[in-house]
Chains A and B, each alone.
Chain A
Amino acid sequence: KAGVTQTPRYLIKTRGQQVTLSCSPISGHRSVSWYQQTPGQGLQFLFEYFSETQRNKGNFPGRFSGRQFSNSRSEMNVSTLELGDSALYLCASSLELASNTQYFGPGTRLTVL
């Protein structure tokens, strides 16, 4: 069974632009979560989606948003990019909302210049 896939793997943007990252969960998995990984802050939870609804949200500004489609694929969007948004963005999928075991994709490396 294919794992979690994320596209693109690498992105370079400039300050003020917006960006959309995509995540396809493992087949049959219905819950998708997003995490940001930076050297300074480590791994931080962004949000979780299940049945096209945001179920849980981390402590990030409103510039960070996401959505989930009926096929469980998810996208996250960051508007008005700042230098501090440079990070590895990881997507994780799990079977159900409360299945407690998440499987991660390879991540999207975003660089903001």
Chain B
Amino acid sequence: GAVVSQHPSWVICKSGTSVKIECRSLDFQATTMFWYRQFPKQSLMLMATSNEGSKATYEQGVEKDKFLINHASLTLSTLTVTSAHPEDSSFYICSAREETYEQYFGPGTRLTVT
């Protein structure tokens, strides 16, 4: 199956700083990428959808000025958590899809804000 990578896999940052997470589709071109957030023992919560070269579409309740998403190429999307606070600590997962409907997920990034 298709492979999606994320970097870093785990990051610890201080409150008030910004953190960037990268998501790459390694062996296919992703026309659409998605960013999810997941709390322990809960299902995935979609944060935003991004198409290459256009602005991301954010889900209701997700602050677009806090969670900056850039989809600069067909293989790379980035999520920047700006001015992070402890409540932003979570597991962030990206996924990518081609023109078909299967979504392939990255391994996730664990963010801890101290």
Q: Do A and B come from one complex?
A: no
Interface residues of A, Cβ cutoff 8 Å to B: none
